[in-house]
Amino acid sequence: MSKTANKKVVCEKLIEYGKKDRDIVALTSDSRGSASMTDFGNQLPDQLVEVGIAEQNIVGMAAGLAASGKKPFITSYAAFVTMRAIEQVKVDVAYSNVNVKIIGISGGVSYGPLGMSHHALHDIAVMRAIPNIKMIMPADRYDTEKLMEELVNYEGPVYVRVGRNAVEEVHQSADYEFEIGKADQLSGGSDLTIIATGELVSTALKAAELLEEDDLDCRVINMHTLKPIDEKAIIKAAEETGKIITVEEHSVYGGLGSAVSQVVAENHPVPVKVFAIPDEPAVTGYPEDIFKEYGLTPSNIAEKAKEMFD
Amino acid sequence: MDKIEFLTEKAAQIRRDLLKMIVNAGTGHTAGSLSNTDIMTVLFYEVMDIKVDDPDWDDRDRFILSKGHSVESYYTILADKGYFDKEELNTFCQYKSRLIGHPNNKVPGVEMNTGALGHGLAIAAGMAKAAKMSKKNYKVYTLMGDGELAEGSVWEAALAASHFKLDNLVGIIDRNNLQITDNTEKVMGLEPLAEKWKSFGWEIIEVDGHNYQELINAFTKSSEIKGRPTLILANTIKGKGVSFMENKAEWHHGLPSEEELAQALEELSSKGEVI
């Protein structure tokens, strides 16, 4: 599997579409380098708006740009744009329902060594609670490419979280169907379903491979869209496999696990095991260290999955 | 009737209409709306290039009410202009009415939802930036309260508007010196206010916010300023036009009784008493 950072794909696609549509505007908050948006600035300088370190302003201005016919894409740190500017996201973007795309970069524990200030482990919970705005976490470069294509053609508020680092591909090629709001089933299976989101989908796939060795047939679902979440796919998984595991780079509160549990509990109660970051300031270190600390690894997920069959 | 006479009568009518609307609804931000009625009247009847029968006209001037709680003068003016039927003012704040207690973009003529303070200037800056990028000539106006200037987001946007040389953007401050608790200078001091905006790179024009000619001159001058945004510091009286409401913080969202309404309407019945 080759590895590519999703944020690079975001920039490549924004340049590609920005050249075709001059109303596409990228906004940065001193985040050009971090967001891999330097190329965009170099190639399309008239379509880049740099606001400096001012997250409230980046969102407010994007709302004004959108209301005046521009197609703004904010590329700003997930940790800050979904906290510092959350009222602007709620009121200026979601409530006014304007065509602003927010790409939260370096999400999750991408900035693992930098501490809780720079961790973005709250954004699924926060963004899901705001009406009108969709939330998406692409798993790999193919998801990101297809998502960007959908985003330029979709009119309305969307929040996207990507990580900082290169991620493994979970698709063999671009030859699959990607649709906002529709779960992407990566493998069939009848014993257990692992539902994962974002850049931990590859971890879920590896856990499933380990479980195959124990003759456990796993369904793996890439739940790239957290809102609107694909309830049908979740209910179907509960009905057909009877056990569900969720895997996410997010707080255990209000994330994928919470969302899936709600759907399962209301529609077809089956055991659900949630793999996420516990309610504490996450340990610091590189992402791999943090995932290991909290058991977000293929071996631990597989081991705990087997216990569900005891 | 000359321009000033027309604006004087129109503003008195708007004040009467908004007071009746507030009493009918049983709620409202009374004094703040009276404070900014003259500014809004000059903007909507004299300054802005808008088409009532085509509210989304691409080249229209934009207006953002950053002090969203003073929505009463806004709705009343939009209804009077013909954006929607005046009868609808009777639904203000009622169940499922689109005339909710803060500007709502489901109402024809309202650009954006506001209400959370300190947001309007950034939105207006985005609209002004869009005009620059698309080489359009429309202007963007945003009316801020003085109390909301304590919000840091205002100053982020003030920096940006100056940095981007948005000379198509006009910020107006309804400087009535009162916020819900007390005098602004007691709650969180703003002075020297003009100097603050000037140091941020804005052109400052200070006016009597109830003097139509001064307001018209300020807006005219703002169009001649190149390379930087204009801030019109409009000195106003909270509760303007109703003697017992003027300069009283308790009328921020005070509700007049029937007798008080009658007295207010009486005071506002003659144009000469407003100025």
A66 in any annotated domain:
yes
Residue B272 has pLDDT above 60, yes or no: no
| Per-residue pLDDT, A34 | 84
Give me the torsion for CA of A114, A196, A11, A73, rounded to 10°.
-90
For B106, counting Cβ atoms within 10 Å of its Cβ (0-12 exposed, 13-18 middle, 19+ buried), the class is: exposed
Shortest Cα–Cα distance, B23 to chain A (Å): 28
| Per-residue pLDDT, B253 | 86
Q: How far is CA B135 from its chain centroid? A: 27
**Domain end: A144, A168, A192, which one?**
A168
The stretch B206-226 carries a mean pLDDT of: 98
pLDDT digit string, tens, across residues A188-238: 999 999 999 999 999 999 999 999 999 999 999 999 999 999 999 999 999
Contact A65 B130 (CB under 8 A): yes
A296 in any annotated domain:
yes
- Please state the pTM of the whole predicted model: 0.96
A146 with A179: CB under 8 angstroms? Answer: no
Chain B: residue nearest A89 by CA? B119
Contact A61 B123 (CB under 8 A): yes
**Domain end: A168, A193, A226, which one?**
A168
Residue B271 has pLDDT above 60, yes or no: no
Q: How many residues can be counted in chain A?
A: 310
Percent of chain A with pLDDT over 90: 97
A130 φ/ψ angles, rounded to the nearest 5 degrees: -105, 120
Chain A: residue nearest B105 by CA? A96
DSSP code for A126: H
| Per-residue pLDDT, A1 | 58
Contact A67 B127 (CB under 8 A): yes
A281 with A249: CB under 8 angstroms? Answer: no
A156 with A97: CB under 8 angstroms? Answer: yes
The stretch A99-106 carries a mean pLDDT of: 97
Together in a domain, A142 and A218: no
| Per-residue pLDDT, B274 | 43
Mean pLDDT of chain B: 96
Q: How far is CA A130 from its chain centroid? A: 16
Together in a domain, A77 and A149: yes
A133 with A89: CB under 8 angstroms? Answer: yes
H or E, element range at A274 = strand A272-277
The span from the CA of B240 to the CA of B33, in Å, is 9
Mean pLDDT of chain A: 97
CB contacts, 8 Å: B229 with chain A: none
Look up the domain containing A31 and give its range. 3-168
Numbered residues of chain A with Cβ closer than 8 Å to any chain B Cβ: 23, 25, 46-47, 49, 51-52, 54, 56-57, 59-70, 72, 87-88, 90-92, 95-98
A269 in any annotated domain:
yes
Contact B130 A70 (CB under 8 A): yes
Beta bridge partners of B206: B233
Best residue in A71, A91, A93 for a mutation probing chain B (most B CBs within 10 Å): A91
| Per-residue pLDDT, B107 | 97
Shortest Cα–Cα distance, B170 to chain A (Å): 14
A29 in any annotated domain:
yes
Look up the domain containing B249 and give its range. 3-273
Shortest Cα–Cα distance, A251 to chain B (Å): 28
Q: What CATH number is attached to the domain comprising A8?
A: 3.40.50.970
Together in a domain, A137 and A204: no
Residue among B181, B144, B183 nearest B161 (CA): B144
Q: List, in order, residues 6 or more apart from A231 with CB less than 8 Å away.
A: A263, A267
Residue among A142, A194, A111 nearest A1 (CA): A142
Asked whether the bond before B192 is cis by omega within 30 degrees of 0, the reply is yes
Together in a domain, A66 and A28: yes
The stretch B124-151 carries a mean pLDDT of: 98
Identify the three-state secondary structure at position A225: strand
Query: Which residue in the set A54, A60, A97 is minimally distant from B126, CB to CB?
Result: A60
**Domain end: A119, A144, A168, which one?**
A168
Best residue in B69, B113, B155 for a mutation probing chain A (most A CBs within 10 Å): B113
The residues in B 130-189 lying below 8 A from A, measured between CB atoms, are 130-131, 133-134, 140, 152-153, 156-157, 159-160, 163
Chain A: residue nearest B131 by CA? A68
Together in a domain, A127 and A209: no
| Per-residue pLDDT, A220 | 98
Number of domains in chain B: 1
Q: What CATH number is attached to the domain comprising A200?
A: 3.40.50.920
Give me the torsion for CA of A146, A152, A157, A163, rounded to 10°.
40
pLDDT digit string, tens, across residues A282-294: 999 999 999 999 9
**Residue with tokens 């930087």, as numbered in its chain:** B228
Residue A135 has pLDDT above 60, yes or no: yes
In single-letter form, the type of residue at position B15 comes to R
Residue A173 has pLDDT above 80, yes or no: yes
Best residue in B102, B129, B159, B169 for a mutation probing chain A (most A CBs within 10 Å): B129
The span from the CA of A261 to the CA of A263, in Å, is 5
The per-residue b/e assignment along A216-245, b for 16 or more CB within 10 angstroms, e otherwise, is: bebbbbbbbbbbebbbebbebbbeebebbb
A195 with A236: CB under 8 angstroms? Answer: no
CB contacts, 8 Å: B156 with chain A: 51, 54, 56-57
| Per-residue pLDDT, B249 | 87
CB contacts, 8 Å: B159 with chain A: 52, 54, 57
Number of domains in chain A: 2
Residue A269 has pLDDT above 80, yes or no: yes
A198 in any annotated domain:
yes
The stretch B115-123 carries a mean pLDDT of: 98
A60 in any annotated domain:
yes
Contact A64 B58 (CB under 8 A): no
H or E, element range at B165 = none
The residues in B 96-125 lying below 8 A from A, measured between CB atoms, are 105, 111-116, 118-119, 121-125
Beta bridge partners of A195: A221, A246
The span from the CA of A201 to the CA of A163, in Å, is 13
Best residue in B119, B137, B151 for a mutation probing chain A (most A CBs within 10 Å): B119
Q: List, in order, residues 6 or more apart from B221 with CB less than 8 Å away.
A: B205, B230
Residue A41 has pLDDT above 90, yes or no: yes
| Per-residue pLDDT, A32 | 87
Contact B113 A60 (CB under 8 A): no
Together in a domain, A79 and A16: yes
Together in a domain, A23 and A87: yes
Beta bridge partners of B98: none
Identify the three-state secondary structure at position A249: strand
A279 φ/ψ angles, rounded to the nearest 5 degrees: -80, 75
Together in a domain, A139 and A227: no
Contact A61 B126 (CB under 8 A): yes
Residue A298 has pLDDT above 60, yes or no: yes
The span from the CA of B9 to the CA of B274, in Å, is 9
DSSP code for A120: B
The span from the CA of A182 to the CA of A147, in Å, is 12
Together in a domain, A103 and A61: yes
Together in a domain, A163 and A28: yes
The stretch A118-140 carries a mean pLDDT of: 98
Question: What interface predicted TM-score (ipTM) does this complex get?
Answer: 0.95
Q: What CATH number is attached to the domain comprising B190?
A: 3.40.50.970
| Per-residue pLDDT, A233 | 98
Chain A: residue nearest B152 by CA? A56
Together in a domain, A114 and A203: no
Together in a domain, A78 and A144: yes
Q: How far is CA B82 from its chain centroid? A: 18
